[in-house]
Amino acid sequence: MRDSTTGKLLRRFKSKSVEADRLLDGSAAIDVCGVNHFYGSGDARKQVLHDNHLQVQPGEIVIMTGQSGSGKTTLLTLIGTLRRVQEGQLHVLGEPLHLARTSQINALRMRLGFIFQAHNLFSSLTALQNVRMALELQPGRHSRAEQNRRCEEMLTAVGLGDRIHYKPKGLSGGQKQRVAVARGLVHQPKILLADEPTAALDEKSGRDVVNLFQREARERGTAIVIVTHDNRILDVADRIVKMDFGKIARDTNLGEAALLGEMLHRCDLFTNVSVSTLTSFARKMKREEYLPGQRIVTYGDVGDRFYIIREGEVVVRRPPSNDDGETLPESTKGFANSFTDVARLSEGDFFGETALLNNAPRNAHVDAVTESVTYSLDAETFKEVMSEQKSMTEEVRSALFSE
Ligand SMILES: Nc1ncnc2c1ncn2[C@@H]1O[C@H](COP(=O)(O)OP(=O)(O)OP(=O)(O)O)[C@@H](O)[C@H]1O
Average pLDDT of span 42-51: 95
Per-residue pLDDT, 232: 84
Number of H helices, E strands in the chain: 11, 18
d(Cα 145, Cα 141) in Å, to the nearest integer? Answer: 12
- Whether the per-residue pLDDT at 6 is higher than 70: the answer is no
CA 261 to each of CA 157, 254, 256, 372: distance values in angstroms, whole numbers, following the listed order = 36, 10, 9, 19
HSE, CB side, 13 Å, CA atoms: give it for residue 165.
0
Q: Which of the pair, 282 or 227, is modelled with greater confidence? A: 227
Q: Is the CB of 65 under 6 A from ligand 1?
A: no
Q: What is the pLDDT of residue 235?
A: 81
Which range of 154-158, 203-207, 355-359, 382-386 scores highest in mean pLDDT? It is: 154-158
Identity of the amino acid at 185? L
What are the φ/ψ torsions at residue 102 (nearest 5 degrees)?
-55, -40
In eight-state DSSP terms, residue 20 is -
**In angstroms, what is the span from residue 202 Cα to ligand 1's centroid?**
26
In order of 6, 140, 341, the CA distances from 337 in angstroms are: 73, 72, 12
Q: Which of 25, 17, 191, 35 is nearest to 104 (CA)?
A: 17
What is the pLDDT confidence band of residue 226, given thresholds at 50, 70 and 90?
Answer: very high
Cβ contact 140:125 at 8 Å: no
How many CB atoms sit inside 10 A of residue 250's CB?
A: 17
The string of pLDDT tens digits covering residues 109-155 is 999 999 987 778 999 999 999 999 999 878 767 788 999 999 999 99
Whose CA is closest to atom 26 on ligand 1? 68
DSSP string for 308-352: EEEESEEEEEEPPB-TTSPBPPTTSTTGGG--EEEEEEETT-EE-
Q: Assign 392 a pLDDT band (cuts: 50, 70, 90).
A: low
The answer to whether 122 touches 130, Cβ cutoff 8 Å, is: yes
- For ligand 1, what atom is nearest to the CA of residue 71? 18
User: Does ligand 1 come within 6 angstroms of the Cβ of 72?
Assistant: yes
Q: Which residue's CA lies nearest to atom 24 of ligand 1?
A: 68
CA of 14 from ligand 1 middle (Å) equals 31
Distance, CA 197 to ligand 1 centroid (Å)?
18
Expressed in angstroms and rounded, the spacing between residue 175 Cα and the centre of ligand 1 is 27
For residue 49, give the ligand 1 atom closest to its CA. 14
Q: Is the CB of 71 under 6 A from ligand 1?
A: yes
pLDDT range class, residue 170, cuts 50, 70, 90 = very high
DSSP strand pairing (61-66 vs 112-115): unpaired
Residue 348 · residue 270 · CB < 8 Å = no
Residue of 35, 39, 117, 245 to test ligand 1 pocket, by largest number of atoms within 8 Å of CB: 39
Packing angle, helices 127-136 and 4-14, rounded to 10? 20
Distance (Å, rounded) from C-alpha 380 to C-alpha 388?
13
| Ligand 1 proximity of 228 Cβ (cutoff 6 Å) | no
Q: What is the mean pLDDT of residues 302-322?
A: 94
Name the residue with the closest Cα to ligand 1, atom 6.
39
Instruction: Collect contacts of 34-41 with beta carbons under 8 A, ≥24 apart.
Output: 34/87, 34/88, 34/89, 35/75, 35/78, 35/85, 35/87, 35/88, 35/89, 35/90, 36/86, 36/87, 36/88, 37/71, 37/74, 37/75, 37/78, 37/83, 37/86, 37/87, 37/246, 38/86, 38/87
Task: Say if residues 252 and 258 touch (Cβ distance below 8 Å).
Answer: no
Q: Whole-angstrom Cα distance, residue 299 to residue 165?
A: 70
What is d(CA 366, CA 353) in angstroms, rounded to the nearest whole number? 13
Candidate from 41, 43, 45, 48 with most ligand 1 atoms within 8 A of CB, to mutate: 48
Instruction: Report how far ligand 1's centroid is from the alpha carbon of 49 (Å).
Output: 10
Cβ atoms < 10 Å from Cβ of 156: 14
Model confidence at 30, pLDDT cuts 50, 70, 90, reads: very high
What pLDDT, on a 0 to 100 scale, did the predictor assign at position 364? Answer: 94
Helix (H, G, I), strand (E, B) or coil at 369: coil
- Give the residue, 72 or 116, on which the prediction is more confident: 72
The structure's pTM equals 0.67
